[in-house]
A and B are shown apart, each in its own frame.
Chain A
Amino acid sequence: MYTYVHNKQEADPMTLPYSAWQIAKQSLTNHKNWTPAWRTKQPKKHYDVIVIGAGGHGLATAYYLATQHNIKHVAVLEKNWLGGGNTGRNTTAIRSNYFYPESVALYDLSVRLYENLSAELNYNVMFSQRGMLVMAHSEAEMEMASRMTNAMQINGTDAELWGRKKTAKRIPVLNYSDTARYPIHGGVWQSRAGTGRHDAVAWGYARAADKAGVDIIQNCEVTDFIVEGGRCQGVNTQLGEIRGEQTAMVVAGHSSPLASLAGFSLPLHSYALQAFVTEPIKPVLDTVVFSPSYGTYVSQSDKGGLVFGGALDRVPSYGQKGNLPMQEQVITGLIEMMPIAQRAKLLRHWAGIVDVTPDSSPLIGGTPLPGLALNCGWGTGGFKAIPAGGFLTAHYLAKGGHHEISKPFDLSRFERGELIDEGAASGIAH
């Protein structure tokens, strides 16, 4: 149904509210009168804000600019189709089990926004708070797990320390053998964590932003910045020049090439991150599990596929396909931690290009070029952060300065030496 709706571009641009009543009503006319979820627009000459990149963060930024700050002359420019970047490629784990107070404040804001997002957007983003366990495999790791649990609780989010018995009762499908490569001792449980529907997050924000008056322009690659008087005044695109009072680049793994067009570099490396899904099987796993030792995390989708992934590829890359050694590591990790998975056939495998900072924390705020802001550096874990990232970037643009929560994530933290080192704190993170 959604595909049909999105492609029917000549129809009435009025957004129909989605509801059971609407489905019943549309069924009377054989579902022929559904309208597009967003309009297809040609760019205007000038906007208050230009957002580059229609991933979740770019679309959410535009949505919150329009709805929270009443800034309606906003364009989102996307070189491909919206949601086709990392937002449409991720494994949808949503959680706030981070170590540092700054991170918990950021990611927990996001989880709280997710909790109400389907209702707010009138679009079911299928946020399922099925809980997540980060496993510990030795006494020493249990010590670290208890430190993590304490830190999370002190920082105001929910966390429980689970032992082996509780884990085995709640998640029986894992490998509890004493001879397992990494025996399971327990782990850190976050009950409000879970999964969402990646496309729905992009589509829901796009539809709601469009309804609020935002122009979403697909197939419109930004090729250069217009810099006059030392300030960014807009962008050049394949559809011509578009001017903006302010511009925000929200392009994840492609942030460095854009930054170099704007005349600066960023503390980023781009890597391929891979993910996998098996054929659908009967329900065996109703939560998200992650083992830093095996280097694998997994959940089961509503369709029944085991959705899993692991660490970054070892070699910086812009080639949107993963390499074999990492596949082997992730797949062997999965079948050792969940042996029944070895019978399942792999259905699909893919990769996205993610932007990794030295401290595995994101970048939000200004750039060396006045008039140009950024939101990037989410690396392997920015799907969970889409509502907060958009909310905070919109705040930065509208108020001309940081919200308390985004302040620590400013680019200037590297010069100040105030890194928020979640790479070391939460291990490989998704």
Chain B
Amino acid sequence: MQQFPCPYCGLRNETEFHFAAESGKTRPDTNTPIDDKHWSDYLYQNYNPKGTSKEVWMHLACREVFLMTRDTVNMDVLEVQALRGEHHD
């Protein structure tokens, strides 16, 4: 079992974590009209990189969302980053 570091709780079993999405997408401003292409790109397109990937994850135990940078080939965790507040090292 691999362990992932939660910025708040430290190392925990991978089964406690949920992969949410690739990071870096900005939700289009829906107060102004957006075309189908931009909306569907936002919803569905991924880079799905082989190698370094920066992603949004949730630690299901504490319900916190954070950024994790991984290597998608050897599964190494390269960096985690809390999205708010202070975090323990």
Residues of A within 8 A of B (CB): 254, 256-257, 260, 265-270, 314-319, 323-325, 358, 414-417
Min distance, Cβ A37 to any Cβ of chain B, angstroms: 32
Is the Cβ of A323 less than 8 Å from the Cβ of B2? yes
Contacts of A358 in B (CB 8 A): 43-44
Q: Of the candidates A318, A324, A325, A415, which one forms a contact with B40 in the assembled complex, judged by CB atoms under 8 Å apart?
A: A415
16 A-B residue pairs with Cβ-Cβ distance under 8 Å, sorted by A, are A254-B50, A256-B46, A256-B50, A265-B46, A265-B48, A266-B46, A269-B46, A269-B48, A315-B14, A315-B75, A316-B53, A316-B72, A319-B73, A323-B2, A325-B14, A416-B36
Report A94 CB to chain B, min CB distance, Å.
Answer: 28
Given contacts A415-B37, A415-B40, A416-B36, contact A317 B46 (CB under 8 A): no
Instruction: Report A-chain residues with C-beta under 8 Å of the C-beta of B75.
Output: 315, 317, 319, 323
Question: A362 CA to B13 CA in the complex, in Å?
Answer: 33
B50 near A257 (CB under 8 angstroms)? yes
A267 nearest CB neighbor, chain B only: B44
Q: In the docked arrangement, what's the CA distance between A358 and B1, Å?
A: 27
Given the complex, which residues of B lie within 8 Å of A268, measured CB to CB?
46, 48
Provide the residues of chain B in CB contact with A417, threshold 8 Å: 36, 40
A325–B43 touching, CB < 8 Å: no
Q: A316-B72, A325-B1 are in contact. List 6 more A-B contacts (CB 8 A).
A: A266-B45, A314-B15, A316-B48, A317-B75, A318-B72, A416-B36
A-B CB pair tally, cutoff 8 Å: 72
Complex alpha-carbon distance, A358 and B15, angstroms: 22
Minimum CB distance partner of A413 in chain B: B40
Closest 3 CB pairs of A and B: A256-B48, A267-B44, A318-B50
Q: Name the distance in Å between A314's Cβ and chain B's nearest Cβ.
A: 7
Q: Which residue of A lies closest to B72 (CB)?
A: A318
Kindly supply a per-residue 1/0 record for chain B positions 1-17, scoring 1 wherever the CB is within 8 Å of any chain A CB and 0 otherwise: 11000000000011100
Q: Which of A257, A265, A270 has most chain B Cβ within 10 Å?
A: A265
Bound complex: CA A266 to CA B49 (Å): 11
* B14 in contact with A319 (CB, 8 Å): no
Cβ contacts under 8 Å, A257 to chain B: 48-50
B1 lies within 8 A of A319 (CB)? no
Task: Report A-chain residues with C-beta under 8 Å of the C-beta of B47.
Answer: 256, 260, 265
Q: Which residues of A contact B2 (CB under 8 A)?
A: 323-324
Q: Bits for B25-61, please: 1 = Cβ < 8 Å to A, else 0.
A: 0000000000011001001111111110101000000
**The one of A270, A325, A414 that contacts B15, using a Cβ cutoff of 8 Å:** A325
- Chain B residues closer than 8 Å to A265, beta-carbon distance: 45-48
Q: A319-B75, A323-B2 are in contact. Are A267 and B15 (CB under 8 A)?
A: no
